[in-house]
Amino acid sequence: MKMRMPSVPLITVDPYFSVWTDNINKHTPTHWTASDNTVLGTVNIDGATYRFLGDSDDEVMPLVSLDADAFSTTAIYEGAGIRLTAKFTSPMLVTDLYYASRPVSYLKLTYEPTDGNAHSVAAKMSFSEELVLNKAGEGRAYSKNVEIDGISCIKMGSGSQKVLWRNGDDVRIDWGYFYLAVNGEAETGNEVIDDLYAVYAQTQLNNEALFLFAYDDIDSMVYFGDNIKAYWKNGGKTIEEAIKEAADEYDELLDRCNTFSDTLRKEAELKGGEKYAELLLLAYRQVMAAHKLVVDKDGNNLYISKECFSNGCAATVDVTYPSAPMYLLYNTELLKGMLRPIFRYAGTKDWTFDFAPHDAGCYPFVNGQVYGENQLKYQMPVEECGNMIILVSAICEKDNDYSFAQENIELLEKWSKYLIKYGKDPENQLCTDDFAGHLSHNCNLSLKAIMGMTGFAKILKNIGRNDEAEELFNKAKEYADSFLTDAENSDGSYRLAYDREGTFSLKYNAVWDKLWKTNLFSADFFSGEIERYKKEALPYGVPLDSREKYTKSDWLIWVACLADTKEDFEFFADILWNAYNTMRTRVPMTDWYYADTSEMVGFRHRSVQGGLFIKLLFE
């Protein structure tokens, strides 16, 4: 990877089991929130100890290359007469529900002499109590050796096992157990590193060694009052069985991951260029690790997102919407799993509104919203109605199966009527992009309503309600024609708000007209927007709208798809790549940053980077 990654993924499983680094052999690894997750990796070469991961007083093993693909990060070091290769892999295969859930990650270490001599090499991995506490010192950790046939293993956990006792955004898990394992013989135990309680595993490196890192959270989610478990536990599978299975299938699973990643790279390069491909390869693990796949008491798959470093909301609709392209591309069952909690909540007596909810709880509690008396204040009525209908329509079209829509048809119909009533010229409503404040007559929100109505018309047509479908599509066309007349600027671009002549905003919601080939908007509309975006472009992106210089990575790629040429698409993808390549704030990919400086505004590690995959949905 030619990009200087803003943060390097090491262990990426879910919002809790997460280890990243900004400098692999010089700085302490962190959780995606930037709280320390102290991990130390060393090799002893002929009696001398060298550090290849983390921070300590040991001599540093010189790093000569660092690369990443969709599943693996590979670091190569040279020193003391050997070449050491460390390959970190989190095989979270989006195409396979089991592997999308199983919380086992790998480190494969190999070495070869560079001086022609034989060497004695041993490797050691140490993990601190920060993996099992919110922060060091908040409680006490303990460890215990674990018996697994053919595997050396130790587990570590908090002494106070209060499972699923709290929720929130900038917090880490402090229940369940972290497992450190080696395939074969190894010494395991506990020690102190950096004044922290830690567990370690050390093994002779006879050319190679396979370390495994796993986390059993016991119960994963509270879902409308029920503690529910991760998908991988179906059938009663234990973490010990999962670790043994993972060790036995490493080579086969790595081949599957390599094939997936290579195919992704080639397709992305073909459609969007080399830099676009690198964006997708870096985003993939982050997107997967911002979710948790669980199963409710009725056997329904739920894929719960965490609104990372925003407010910790669970199953947030306007986070699901931008993340959807990756899941429309690879596995619609996971996207359905994101929407099921919203349908469940909207069908309860606690939801009294005629529009779709913004979210269904605060991670990992999916019991309904937690806003109290301020509930109405935080809703996004047109936004979320449009999002839900568009996504259901897109899922059904991809599956060529409209049963998911039929299961939820009453709510979808109610939300479609809301769009008809309020979507043509939206009142002063909160929307997903209101970072610079609310405004009435939001043109992009109007586009959302138009495409939501169009999506429901497609649903109606495919379930045999043809007359209603035609009537609704004609209404959407009427709104679109009104938009093209009332929102046009003198230069052929379109406004931020109907009453703000000369302004602009990223009209990413119009991408569905391109994808669905519904032809609501003219070619002049799309070309006018692209020309305005190119004119407004700053070194690292196009501002979200006329009011500020910050932008959003997901929407930047969505509007790039409005372009008719690969050259124009690459223009937008390349400046986004430049932003991450130069970003001084070293955290997992932020989606909200200043387009003139590439400085992060606030968000990080959010699932919305799944939106970068949208170009691959085009034929």
Q: What is the pLDDT of residues 520-569, one digit of tens each?
A: 999 999 999 999 999 999 999 999 999 999 999 999 999 999 999 999 99
Give the separation between CA 52 and CA 62, rounded to whole angstroms: 8
Query: Residue 523 corresponds to which amino acid?
Result: A
Map 328-359 to HEC letters: HHHCHHHHHHHHHHHHHHHCCCCCCCCCCCCC
- Dist CA 58 CA 43 (whole Å): 10
pLDDT value at position 498? Answer: 97
What percent of the chain is predicted at pLDDT more than 70? 100
Answer whether residue 116 shows pLDDT above 90.
yes
Per-residue pLDDT at 264 = 98
How many residues does this entry show for the chain?
619
Query: What is the distance between the alpha carbons of residues 371 and 387, in angstroms, rounded to a whole number?
Result: 21
Domain boundaries, the chain: 8-219, 380-523
CA proximity to 152, closest of 127, 123, 177, 189: 189
Give the span between the Cα atoms of 95 and 182, in whole angstroms: 27
Residue 86 has pLDDT above 90, yes or no: yes
Question: What CA–CA distance (Å, rounded) separates 21 from 359?
Answer: 31
Which of these, 525, 505, 503, lies nearest to 513 by C-alpha position?
A: 525
Residue 463 has pLDDT above 90, yes or no: yes
Kindly report whether the peptide bond that precedes residue 364 is cis, defined as omega within 30 degrees of 0: yes
Per-residue pLDDT reduced to its tens digit, 23-54: 999 999 999 999 999 999 999 999 999 999 99
Q: With 90 as the cut, is the pLDDT of residue 509 above it? A: yes
Q: Mean per-residue pLDDT for 233-244?
A: 98
8 A C-beta contact, residue 275 and residue 575: no
- The whole-angstrom separation of Cα 98 and Cα 69 is 21
Rg for the chain, CA atoms, rounded: 25
Least confident of 190-194, 229-233, 430-434, 510-514: 430-434
pLDDT at 338 over 90: yes
What's the whole-number average pLDDT of the chain?
97
Going by CATH, does the domain composed of 8-219 fall within 2.60.40? no
Distance between CA atoms of 463 and 80, rounded to whole angstroms? Answer: 69
Neighbours of 619 (CB within 10 A): 5
Angle at 384 between CA 373 and CA 309, to 5 degrees: 70
Backbone phi, psi, residue 224, to 5°: 45, 50
Q: What is the pLDDT of residue 438?
A: 84
Q: What is the largest CA-CA distance in the chain?
A: 81
Which tens digits make up the pLDDT trace of 53-80?
999 999 999 999 999 999 999 999 999 9
**Residue 87, beta-bridge partner list:** 74, 108
CA distance 183 to 204: 12
Q: What is the pLDDT of residue 373?
A: 86
**pLDDT the model gives residue 362:** 98
- pLDDT at residue 85 tops 90: yes
| Beta bridge partner(s), residue 9 | 20
pLDDT band, very low/low/confident/very high, at 303 (cuts 50, 70, 90): very high
Does 437 have pLDDT greater than 90?
A: no
CA angle 18, 22, 586 (to 5 degrees): 95
